[in-house]
Amino acid sequence: MQLYNSLTKKMEKFEPLNGMRVNLYVCGLTPYDHTHMGHARTYAAFDMLRRYLALKGYEVFHIQNVTDVDDKILKRAKESKQDPRKLAGEFSAEASELFKKLNILEASAYPKVTGHIPEIIALVKKLVESGHAYETETGVYFEVKKFPEYGKLSGQKLDEILAGSRKAVDETKKNPEDFALWKKTSGDAIEFDSPWGRGRPGWHIECSAMAGVYAKTLDIHGGARDLIFPHHENEIAQSEAAGAKPFVRFWLHTGFLTVSGEKMSKSLGNFVTLKDVLAQHSPNAVRMFFAMAHYRSPIDYNPEQIRQAEATVGSIMNTLDSIDRALEERGKKKIKDIPLSNELKKKFLNFYHFVDLDFDIPTGITYVFSLMKSVNAHLSGDSLDYEALEYTKLEMGKVLEILGLVREKKQIPDKTCELLDLLVELRDSARKKKDFKASDRIRDRLRQLGFVLEDGDDGRTRWKSL
């Protein structure tokens, strides 16, 4: 399996550091507002990667932090006159429920900042003692110049970073580019004791400390591409300055989810909440919408494309339903269709080839769509290759697992089934009497109600739900 490493800027063969165990860290939410589709895009992408790694036999330990103390949370809590812990807890719980609805697997661990203050303080102390950090009146800062490799992830030069530094510089810092490891506070709603007085952690140090609880070196660290600088760049600097070399072996970043070409973000006020989207579209449709774009590419939020994704999923599920019926009834002559079998094996292999090539699901899935068309054509014939159909069902189960698509069986009450059978009999009777107007009326009305009639080669008519 080849993955594009944001650190080396090239494709590399992925192999975990320790056997078949993969330590995967994905930057989690700062829960100060409703989670939006941009968040969902990133977490769905890493969920698909995790599912695929598990299918390949890896044991994935997935860590996803919760930044439950932050300037944004405190600001929002003050504006809404709420307790910041309560506010963060409510938004975090809402996000968890929505991700569950989107069929995103739960992480192995959800470390919270407020639950790891001792580890954060210990890491800051280590950086101070090694000379990489210093204390001022306002906090403790990492001295960027003391880490010669700074900029190796983002590609930024120190002079470029200086040019882009904020004008309102903290005069207590040695250099404008130095970043906070610990912020001194006095009387804030959330603050902790430390060797440097009361305060709270800086944003970047949190992930380094919490990741270090589970692994000194991470196999994969993921997040959206807007975290490359400064967040992930700073994580590397402080972690490796403290002795974790390398801190991360593979850096993976998702592309932006945009609205009319502009990055979706809370700060820009153009975000679409996941809650609102799931009220209008099925989880399967949203996941397929994400899967149709490469994880590193930008994707523009488009409700029409989500509806098209819904239709695509529906088509796949209908084909699988037809395969199930054919295998259950086995009402047609059994044959061995060598060309079909060869085509199926080749196209499934092509799917996995592209998934192994930097997780290129969009290209891989085109082969799945193609083979499903071939299976549909085969199902309409007079004879069937039941072994090929069983193989397709088995392999499609794996594809659905990777994509995180749920195949739900519609539970139709027995009384409804009896009424449907009666309507089928009435339609057959109308057709025998050449009353095609009545026959077509029954067929069309059933379709409006969500059921389609299929006339089999054996002369029997069967209904199925759409």
Q: What is the pLDDT of residues 359-377, one digit of tens each?
A: 999 999 999 999 999 999 9
Which pLDDT band holds residue 167 (cuts at 50, 70, 90)?
Answer: very low
Quick check: 20 and 59 in contact, CB under 8 A? yes
Q: What is the pLDDT of residues 170-222, one digit of tens each?
A: 788 999 999 999 999 999 999 999 999 999 999 999 999 999 999 999 999 99
DSSP at 197: -
In the chain, what is the straight-line distance between the N-terminal and C-terminal CA atoms, in Å?
A: 37
Residue with tokens 């939006």: 36
d(CA 164, CA 128): 26
Q: What class, spelled out in words, does domain 2-280 have in CATH?
A: alpha beta
Query: CA-CA distances (angstroms) from residue 78 to 32, 83, 114?
Result: 11, 8, 19
Q: Which segment of 55-59, 69-73, 165-169, 219-223 scores lowest on mean pLDDT? A: 165-169
Q: How many of the other CB atoms lie within 10 Å of CB of 195? A: 11
- The residues pairing with 333 across neighbouring beta strands, listed in sequence order, are 383
Quick check: 272 and 60 in contact, CB under 8 A? no
Q: What is the pLDDT of residues 32-49, one digit of tens each?
A: 999 999 999 999 999 999
Which pLDDT band holds residue 165 (cuts at 50, 70, 90)?
Answer: low
Helix runs in 5-156, H state only: 37-55, 71-80, 84-101, 117-129
Three-state secondary structure call for residue 460: coil
Q: Would residue 465 be called left, alpha or beta, if left means φ above 0 and alpha means ψ between -120 and 50 degrees?
A: beta
What is the torsional sign of CA 329, 335, 338, 339?
negative
Which pLDDT band holds residue 96 (cuts at 50, 70, 90)?
Answer: very high
Quote the tokens at residue 43: 């977490």
Domains of the chain by residue range? 2-280, 314-403, 414-465
- Relative to beta strand 199-201, strand 179-184 is antiparallel
Q: What is the pLDDT of residues 404-447, one digit of tens each?
A: 999 986 667 778 888 888 888 898 888 888 888 888 888 888 87
Q: What is the pLDDT of residues 61-76, one digit of tens each?
A: 999 999 999 999 999 9
